[in-house]
Amino acid sequence: MKISQLIKACAISLLINTSSLQAKGINVYFGPVEQGEKRLDQHFLKFFSKAKTTIDAAFYELRDENIMRAFIKAHKKGIKIRLIVDSHNFYLRNHDTLEFDYNKHNKFIQPLLDAGIEVTYDLSSKKDSKEQIEITDSENTFANVNKGRSGLMHNKFCVLDGKHVWTGSYNLTDTGAHKNENNAISVTSTKLAEIYTREFNEMFEDSAFGISSPSTIDQQKITIGDIPVEVYFAPEDNPVGKIEEEMLSAKESIYFMQFAMTSDELGTAMIDKRNEGLKVKGIFDRMLYRSTGPYAEFSRLTRNDVPVIVYESPIRGKLHHKVFIIDAEGENPRVIFGSLNASKNGNKSNDENIIIIRDKVITQKYFDQFNKLFGRLSRVTAGFKSQKPLFIEQDIKRMTLIISTNGVPTDQLKIQFPARWGEINKEASIDIYRMKNGRQIKTTHKENFFLSKRDIVLRNLDLKRKGEEALLIIKCKNFKTPSIPGFYNMYIQAKSRTGALYPLKFQPALQIIDPENSDIIAEETASNLLINKLYSGKYKSFFSLVKKCEQDDECGSLNLVSFIKRAIRIINQKILIKNDPEAKDVLKQLKKYKAYFSSKKTNNL
């Protein structure tokens, strides 16, 4: 088949599939869109216009003048409207001081109240809610809560006339429609509307927010046409536990787009599935990646060979999706999305919802969006040379980063320092070395680079495909480790002379240790010792220690499957630089170990 015919066939198939979904009363939306295409706010207003008798809406935030006017217009038509927002989007807040004026309302809420629309918020004791408890919420803001309420009303759903439902990650804001990456779905189904209306009534009529909300999980599995659908609410239904269950049952792949993900359970599930041979990769939002630092799963995932990237756009806003795509290419494709950020607060404190849809066409739409945002990765590799364990608030005299082109001629590197390390001190500096005749030659004075508080940018590198000219050594001096223990990583992007900057498939990670945590020290000490033996060519001793780690369990929680993959990259780097026959034999042995450990883990499941 010719390419033009294939494109035409795909387009026809897409139209047929989309028409099939619309016939079932289902529409899927993404934003932002190109100029001339319908935005999320326009899709929502079209959905909203279907209302004839009732509108029940639960949205974390309303900050869009056109949608505010649509609420007032519907109210004037005699439609009964009930609206719930989060507490700190109900009152007027000074965005500089983050203080609330409890005598004034948010400028988008006051006109609704003046019109006579019923608007409430997520404090169970509304009259006595002025006592402030400062917490960091999943939207990276500060919330005001009363005693006994430490979460957010973070939903983004709407039910019209008891039969039309809207849900997703989209807040009713101008940035939510025009700038942030978001998704939403509209469904015509009385059964789905009944599920969301029951949850709405618990909040609006009974003031049952957070842990006080009862679970009706046995009534939340339905079929729309021939499509199985499940709905779970937080905190009462433990939606993160359900997501973990879906991950552990994956057969082919797991992909994710997450504004904020700090759930260790989900990180562990994805690492386990990656070690079983499944395709696992994901996208994090840049702002939350930097603010959550070691609490996020990014460093842990990249350290365990899960390709993850940070969403960055010079013209758009946040990656606000909360999406997991399971087995998109398999026999049981499903997609999980909604308002829930995969975090402890999201799961245990906030009022949230997720929806699981088991349908190939809908899952493919989300998978297409994932592929569009994930883009390309660079094959360039980078890693820290073996060093002693790093402890919290430690002055590092020298930290060596080794970069290899891995067969890709490289002209530019952008190396972002780890998130949450704070500002780099004035004494911090770097030295750059290249290899010549087996020796490191300092070339700092010849290199075109810029060192800032957040990153290093190196240009005109002219690194070659292989040999010594494929290698660059960067020695960072006088850096200070952060006060919070955990995994941290550099975020590196590489560019050829004619291409764009692409993130590395795996980012070099460091673990900062609390000296009192002996288990973590055992893991990191074993890892550093093994790496040191590889770099120094002590291969016999290396394999002896690997066997000891497996048999005696003296290496803490070191994941041998992930570590062997890391060792393979190091040996490949050595072969690329110097055609070492012994290293080639080691590579063959490492691949056998990889197959052995992977099969052993699978058989133990």
Instruction: State pLDDT tens for residues 221-270.
Output: 999 999 999 999 999 999 999 999 999 999 999 999 999 999 999 999 99
Neighbours of 127 (CB within 10 A): 6
Give the residues across from 84 on adjacent strands. 58, 120
Residues 206 and 282 in one domain: no
Over residues 165-193, mean pLDDT:
97
For residue 586, pLDDT beyond 60: yes
pLDDT at residue 512, as a whole number: 87
Least confident range of 122-126, 206-210, 576-580: 122-126
Do 312 and 381 have their domain in common?
no
* Same structural domain, 463 and 521: no
List, for residues 336-368, the tens digit of each pLDDT value: 999 999 988 889 999 999 999 999 999 999 999
pLDDT for 100: 82
**Predicted local distance difference test score (pLDDT) of residue 148:** 42
Confidence of residue 573 (pLDDT cuts 50, 70, 90): confident
Amino acid (one-letter) located at 441: I
Q: Are 492 and 416 in contact (CB under 8 A)?
A: yes
Residues 46 and 111 in one domain: yes
CA 256 to chain centre: 7
Interatomic CA distance for residues 432 and 434, integer angstroms: 7
Mean pLDDT of 108-124: 91
Question: In whole angstroms, what separates CA 368 from the centre of its chain?
Answer: 17
Pairing of strands 80-85, 54-59: parallel
Mean pLDDT score, 562-573:
82
Q: Which two tokens stand for residue 563?
A: 């570590």
| pLDDT beyond 60 at 604 | no
Report pLDDT for 236.
Answer: 96
Q: How many domains does the chain have?
A: 4
Q: Which comes out higher in pLDDT, residue 123 or 587?
A: 587
Tell me the per-residue pLDDT of 185-218, one tens digit each, with 9 for 90 and over.
Answer: 999 999 999 999 999 999 999 999 988 889 999 9
Residues 6-24: what's their mean pLDDT?
58
* 414 or 528, higher pLDDT: 414
Same domain? 357 vs 409: no
The whole-number pLDDT of residue 449 equals 96
Write out pLDDT tens, residues 270-285.
Answer: 999 999 999 999 999 9
Neighbours of 344 (CB within 10 A): 16
Residues 522, 424: one domain?
Answer: no
Mean pLDDT of the residues in the chain: 87
Among the ranges given (166-180, 299-313, 374-388, 516-530), the one the predictor scored with the smallest mean pLDDT: 516-530
Specify whether 392 is located in the same domain as 532: no
pLDDT of residue 567: 85
- Of the candidates 145, 203, 172, which has an alpha carbon nearest to the alpha carbon of residue 351? 203
The rounded percent of the chain whose pLDDT value lies above 90 is 58
Helix (H) or strand (E) holding 253: strand 253-258
259 & 366 share domain: yes
Using the 3D structure, point to which of 480, 514, 548 is the last residue of a domain. Answer: 514
State the CATH number of the domain containing residue 418: 2.60.40.1290
SS3 of 10-32 = HHHHHHHHHHHHHHCCEEEEEEC
Give me the pLDDT at residue 379, please.
93
pLDDT at 519 over 50: yes
pLDDT > 70 in the chain, percent = 87
**Range of weakest confidence among 98-102, 148-152, 434-438:** 148-152
Output the domain CATH number for residue 149: 3.30.870.10
Which residues are CB-neighbours of 366 under 8 A, at least 6 positions away?
28, 183, 323, 325, 328, 335, 337
pLDDT (mean) for 289-298: 86
* One domain for residues 333 and 307: yes
Contact criterion met (CB below 8 Å) for 477 and 398: yes
Full residue range of the structural domain in which residue 326 is found: 229-374
For the stretch 223-234, pLDDT in tens is 999 999 999 999
Residue owning tokens 């990249």: 302
Whether residues 200 and 83 share a domain: the answer is yes
User: How far is residue 151 from each of residues 136, 176, 182, 319, 416, measured CA to CA in Å?
Assistant: 9, 21, 22, 22, 33
**For residue 420, is it left (φ>0), alpha (ψ between -120 and 50) or beta?**
left
Is residue 111 packed enough to be buried (19+ CB in 10 Å), middle (13-18) or exposed (0-12)? Answer: middle
Give 390-409 pLDDT, tens digit per residue. Answer: 888 888 888 999 999 999 99
pLDDT at 301 over 70: yes
At 321 the pLDDT is 97
| Predicted confidence (pLDDT) per residue in 430-486, tens digit | 999 999 988 999 999 999 999 998 899 999 999 999 889 999 999 999 988 888 888
Q: Domain boundary at 488, 514, 540, which?
A: 514
Tokens of 564: 């062997």
**What is the pTM (predicted TM-score) of this model?**
0.87
Output Rg (C-alpha) for the chain, integer angstroms.
Answer: 26
Last residue of a domain, one of 451, 482, 514: 514
Domain match, 295 and 401 both:
no
User: Is residue 315 domain-shared with residue 201, that is, in the same domain?
Assistant: no
Whether the pLDDT of residue 127 is over 70: the answer is no
Under 8 Å between Cβ of 113 and 72: no
Residues 49, 53, 57, 63, CA torsion sign = positive
